[in-house]
Amino acid sequence: MIHFILGGAKSGKSRYAEAQLMQYAQPWLYLATGRAWDDEMRQKITEHQERRGDGWITYEEPLKIAEYIEKHHPSPILIDCLMLWLTNLMMDKCDINMEIDRLVMTLQAYTGEMVIVSNEVGQGIVPADPMSRAFRNYAGILHQKIAQIADRFTFIVAGYPIVMKSEE
């Protein structure tokens, strides 16, 4: 089962995603894609780590999340977050379309419980620079593909979940 959770910055999506995954048996695997580029990001990572209690096993993997998923038995996994992963792919000049397709194929083959978090970035103004526009475009493509294969899709607004898709 894939549950895709999308929302704006500080919308409560990570906290909601953690609660969703905790409905399944431990251990819960937390696949962190963020890199601690600065003090603000280091603080955010620390806050997320402190919020999660016992039962969580955290893996940090900024690029090769499909490979990580392929290597692990079907324990419940939370991926947080796809936008940080996309940022890492762009910064490392990876083949983004290939990585997105690989992730989608890997998710479709996964037999465990999967909760995936991402930031919605396409509801604002058109970015002024080419790199930001490319990021927004890749994000839109990625989100559409993940939403299409997800069994459940929830949009978070101000801490409240809006179910967009449910196959239950």
Would you say 166 is a known binding-site residue?
A: no
Q: Check residue 168 and give its pLDDT.
A: 64
User: For 15-27, what is each residue's pLDDT tens digit?
Assistant: 999 999 999 998 8
Question: Given 48, 72, 73, 143, which residue is catalytic?
Answer: 48
Would you say 60 is a known binding-site residue?
A: yes
- In the annotation, is 48 catalytic? yes
Instruction: Give the residue ranges of the chain where pLDDT is below 70.
Output: 45, 73, 168
Would you say 14 is a known binding-site residue?
A: yes
Class of domain 2-166: alpha beta
Confidence (pTM): 0.92
21: nearest Cα among 3, 34, 9 = 3
Beta bridge partners of 117: 5, 80
Within 13 Å and on the Cβ side, how many CA atoms surround 119? 16
- Kindly list the domain boundaries of the chain, sorted by start residue: 2-166
Alpha-carbon 49 to chain mean position: 16
